[in-house]
Chain A
Amino acid sequence: MNVLIDRFDVFAGGFWLTFQICVLAAIGALVLGAVVAVLRISPVPPLRALGTAYVTVFRNMPLTVVMFFAAFGLPVLGSNADFLRIPVLDQVFTRLGTDLPYFRFALIALVLYTAAFVCEALRSGVNAVSPGQAEAARAIGMTFTQNLRFVVLPQSWKACIVPLGSVIIAMIKNSALIGFFGVVGDLSQSADQLTSAEGFAFVPVAIGISIGYLIMTVPLGALLDRIERRQAVAAR
């Protein structure tokens, strides 16, 4: 078990990278997922179809395949995801700014994939609001946007916060797949480096990595439980 102490820097480095990509991907997926959710509930049929198509594709495709498309498809299309080198942000998350674009590719794949699930979690929250609420809002002359903003969304977040949290926890674990990109160096890839390159025993390394993921997911899960309990009280 000495590996946990001796090579703490490798674990810490991997943890830090996984943490960064998860924060960025969570923000991206929440924003994109919200956009797709609005498309899916919009009154305009072509927009609805677009939203549904998005969810159908990305919810039903393995994340690995989405990642392959990001890593091999984007360069073919002539993009190395430079648009993600956002000024200031790439100072904080230095990997966004590096020349090797794999961090950005991995980020795109994770965002695209997770957004489909975020969309469905948000939509379940919207569906939990009784249809009479939206109907009453329409009856006093609210437009679709006003209806969402003043009536439906303020009531829907309560119902979607818990499923949304589950989606984010799943995303943190899914981020282990970015090891496919080889050079990224996330938490789960630490295993590869320590076992095959440096010859450490696998089990202690795996324990170290598990701890790294649990540090991110367990507090999030506990927070969700608390929110859920508070809601149960508030719901009379």
Chain B
Amino acid sequence: MTDEALIDLVGVNKWFGPLHVLQDVDLSVARGEVVVVIGPSGSGKSTLCRSINRLEPIDSGSIIFDGQPLPAEGKALAKLRSEVGMVFQSFNLFAHKTILQNVMLGPVKVRKEKTAVVRERALSLLERVGIASQAEKYPAQLSGGQQQRVAIARALAMQPKALLFDEPTSALDPEMVGEVLDVMTSLAKEGMTMVVVTHEMGFARHAANRVVFMADGQLVEQAPPAEFFANPQSDRAKDFLSKILTH
């Protein structure tokens, strides 16, 4: 872990109407760090994750990415988003494009890279996530786990500086969770900067550099995983862990 922060949130506040979903959140993510955000439903974890590439605009505070404050609108914002990959709970693969086209679309249209170059990179990424044989199929023909791995390949094709995962395994059948987590674990090992919102405590334990616990819009506690799971400091975190770890 280096000390230079790639993502830096300072005093971030966000309301959905009267609901204060993010309350004075400060979070700094170093280059190459893997931060896993956990917490009960409705605690603001997803909103936090989505605010980092401004899919959710924030109401106050500041978010710095790679030394630059997040642009508010337009081309500058699009450029920033192209440098931050995002993987969604519901995959969101482009339904009218093949798997290969899904992975190639961003680099070709957004980055204006040469099709031949992108094609090669896309195929090797699909190879890497284990779906090269399905390249010409459409998303609906793949299982959830396969679709999510394609979504990861699509994000990687943009060669992002960081990856955001918004509950990437929550919509998957249990038997498919492992294949997605395997891909994520190998990315973490290679030093990709990752912010992962998840309920997979196993992944948090073995792949995270740091676990961040959120509740009611506040960042309650953060610690290395071994420390957090063995010895949570706050009552809220103790309560949460007791509920999920007893079964």
Contacts and interface: CB of A to CB of B under 8 A. Distances in A.
Interface of A: 43, 130, 132-133, 135-143, 146, 150-151, 154-155, 236
Interface in B19-69: 53, 55
Interface stretch (B81-89, B206-214, B224-232, B236-244): B81-89
20 contacts: A132-B90, A135-B88, A136-B88, A136-B93, A137-B94, A138-B55, A138-B78, A138-B81, A139-B81, A139-B86, A139-B88, A140-B86, A141-B80, A141-B110, A142-B78, A142-B109, A142-B110, A143-B78, A146-B110, A151-B94
B109 A146 contact: yes
Interface of A is mostly: helix
B98 to A, nearest CB: 13
Interface residues of B, number: 30
Contacts, number: 64
A141 B55 contact: no
Nearest to A44: B73
A212 to B, nearest CB: 40
Interface of B: 53, 55, 73-75, 78-86, 88, 90, 92-96, 105-106, 109-110, 140, 151, 154-155, 158
B78 A141 contact: yes
Contacts of A155: 95-96
A140 B155 contact: yes
Contact of A136 (B78, B82, B94, B96): B94
A144 to B, nearest CB: 9
Q: Name the 8 nearest CB pairs between A and B, nearest first.
A: A141-B82, A136-B92, A140-B106, A132-B92, A139-B86, A141-B81, A141-B110, A141-B78
Contacts of B109: 142, 146, 150
A141 B77 CA distance: 8
A161 to B, nearest CB: 15
B27 to A, nearest CB: 20
B55 A133 contact: no
B175 to A, nearest CB: 23
A42 to B, nearest CB: 12
Contacts of B80: 141
A136 B151 CA distance: 9
A205 to B, nearest CB: 50
A132 B73 CA distance: 19
Nearest to A134: B92
